[in-house]
Amino acid sequence: MNFDPPQMGHGSTTHEEFLDSSSTSIAKTSSASPPKTGRRMRLYDLVFGTALLALLAYALHKPFHPHEFGVFGIATLLLLLVSSLPLVDSNYRPFTFTGPTAFGLAIWISPGVAAASALAAHFLRARFWVKGRAYRGYARFQGGQLALASLAIAIFWNQLPVHFTPDDLSHVLSLGLLAAFIFVGLELAMSFLAPPPRVKRVEMRRNLAMNTLVYSVGLLPILLLIPLRLAYGPILCLPVGLLLLLAATTLRLSHEVNGLHRQLQIAEALGRAGLKAAGSERPEQLLERFLKLAQELLQCERSLVWLPEAGTGDFYPAVALPDKGPFAGRKYHFGNGLVGHAAARVRPRLILDAATDVHRAHHEMASGSWILYPIVVREQILGVAHWVRPASNPFLLEDLERLEALMPLATIALENFFVHEQIRVQAITDGLTGLWNQRHTMELLREELQRAARYHRTFSILMLDVDSFKSFNDTYGHLQGDQLLRSIATVLRTSVRSVDHVGRYGGEEFLVILPETGKHEACLLAERLRAAVEEYGVILTDRGPVRRTISIGVAAYPEDALNPAELVERADEALYRAKRAGKNCVIGA
C-alpha cells in the first residue's frame, strides 16, 4: 500500500514544484517525491535501521527454518515485481500493492519472512532501480515501514490470550488494521519530525486517504485466498495472489487510461486552438478558449486573465469565465496585492487560502484557493492567469503541472492581443505628440454627441491654437517647433481629467472633448489649460528658454450646435475671435 516516488526510466519526468506555503521558491523534483532535506534522509535511514535490528532480534528469538529461506527468495521476487513493474506505476499518484502483499505474506507464511522480504526487496530497488539519493532513501524507508508492520503482527499474534488460525476472518481483519495503523503512523511521524511545506501537507492528507483505500482493496485477495490456503497450503497462494493483485492494478490502470484519453482530447483541442491563434480569431476569443481548456483540467469555479492597463500599468480583469464575479472593477498595482505580487515575482503562485495569505493587501477581499500564473514573453509580463476554487478543495502541485502545457496557448493569445492593440493604437495616434489623431478625435466627438443626445446630457469642446507658431518655426526651425508641440501636448494631457479626450486636430491646433461639461465649466477648465501652457510650455533653445501661449475657443452641445461639424465650426470661430482679441485668451461661442 506504499506510495512509491516516480523513478527515472519508468516513464516519469521531473517537474518544477512550488514548495512554500504560498509557493515562494521553486525546486526541481517530482510531484510525489519526498522533500530532499538532510533531516528527512536521516529519518529514512533510522527507520530502515530500526526495522533491520528488529528483524535480527526476532530471528534470534525465533530462528528461520531452512525451508523458509526458499520462501524468502520467492517472496522477495514477488515484492520486487509488485513494486517495480511499470505496469503498476502511476505518474500522477504512484502507488503499488506491496503493502497488502507483505501483509498476506505475514499472515499466510511467516511475519519474519514478510519483514525480511520487505527489507530485501526495497533495498534492492534502492540499490539498482531507483536513481537519486532522496528516492533511494525513501525506498528503504518503505521497506522499513513494511518490516515493522509485519513484525508487529508477529508480536501481537504471540501476545493474544487465545490461539487462532489464519482462517479466522475477525483476527485477520484485526491484524490488517494493526498493520495499516503502524504503516500510516510512520508516515505521520515522519511528517511530524521533518514537516514538509504547507502544500505538501495537503497532498499528504490525500495520500493517507488513498493509502487506506488501497490497503482495504488489498485485503480482498487475502480473504479470498483463505479457502485456497487451507486446502493447498501457502505456496500456491503466491502466484494466485499475484494474479489477483495484477487484476486489481489493471482496474486502476483502466481508470488512468480514461484520464489520459481525456487529456489527449484536451491536447488535440490545444493544437486546433494553436492553429487558430495565427488566424482571424479575435484575441479575446482565444483567451476565452484558453480559460475553457484550463477549467476542464482544473475543475475550478472561476478563471480570469489580468492584463496591464495602458498608461497606469495596473492589472484589470480583461477576460473571465463564467463571469468576473467579485473581481469586476478591481485593479491591482504591480507588486501589490495577490495578483500584483504574482506579477512582480514572475513565477506561479499556488495559494491554499487567499483569505489568510501573507501577501494579501490590507483591504483586499479574497477567498478560496488560487492559482496565479504570470504569462511572460521575453522577460515582459503580458498578463496573469488566475483560477479560483473553494478552499475546502485546494489546488495542488499537480494542478500547476497540468497548466504547463496550456501556457504556450495563453502566450500566443496575449501576444496576438498586444500586437492587435499596438497596431490599433498606432492607427489612431498622432506620431509626433502621442495624442489622438484627427480621424480618431472626430470619431470620439461623434460618439460623445450620440451619447449626449441619447441621455439628454451636455458636453463641450475646446479648440486650441499655438500663438505665433509660424514665426517660431521661422526663427528656431522645424525641429524646435516639433519639440514645442510635444511639450504643449504633454501639458494638455496631464492637465485634463481622465474622462476627457485630447487630440491633435492639425498643424498647431488641438481639440479637447469634455464629456458632461457645460460651457461655463468648460471656460474655467480652458482658462486653467491656458495658464498651464503659459507656465510650463517652455523649451530650451540655443538662445535660451522660449515659451509660447495658446488661444482657446469654446463651444457646447446643444447650446451652440447639434452636430459634430457645426460644433467644431462654432469652436473654431470662437478661437478666431480669441486670436483677434490679442491671443493668449479664452472666448466662448
CA 463 to chain CA centroid, Å, is 50
**Closest C-alpha to 492, from 436, 538, 532, 535:** 532
Residue with cell 499537480: 398
3-state SS, one letter per residue, for 183-228: HHHHHHHHHHHCCCCHHHHHHHHHHHHHHHHHHHHHHHHHHHCHHH
Direct distance between the N- and C-terminal alpha carbons of the chain, in angstroms, rounded to an integer? 88
Q: Residue 555: which residues within 8 A CB-CB, separation 6 or more?
A: 460, 461, 463, 519, 561, 567, 568, 570, 571, 574, 588, 589
Q: Helix count (H) and strand count (E) of the chain? A: 18, 14
Nearest-Å Rg of the Cα atoms of the chain is 37
Q: Residue 353: which residues within 8 A CB-CB, separation 6 or more?
A: 367, 368, 369, 391, 394
CB 578 within 8 A of CB 586: yes
Please give the grid coordinates belonging to residue 3.
506510495
State the Cα–Cα distance between residues 56 and 154, nearest whole angstrom. Answer: 14
CB 199 within 8 A of CB 19: yes
**Closest C-alpha to 48, from 152, 139, 129, 181:** 139
Biggest CA–CA distance in the chain, Å, is 122
Q: Which of 17, 187, 448, 508 is catalytic?
A: 508
508 tagged catalytic? yes
- Transcribe 90-137 into DSSP letters: -SSS---SHHHHHHHHHHHT-HHHHHHHHHHHHHHIIIII--SHHHHH
Torsion angle of C-alpha atoms 220, 224, 226, 231, degrees rounded to 10: -160
State the Cα–Cα distance between residues 261 and 5, nearest whole angstrom. Answer: 23
State the Cα–Cα distance between residues 419 and 158, nearest whole angstrom. Answer: 77
Q: How many CB atoms sit inside 10 A of residue 499's CB?
A: 10
What Å distances lie between residue 324 and 327, 345, 385, 391, CA to CA? 5, 24, 13, 19
Q: Which residues are catalytic?
A: 508
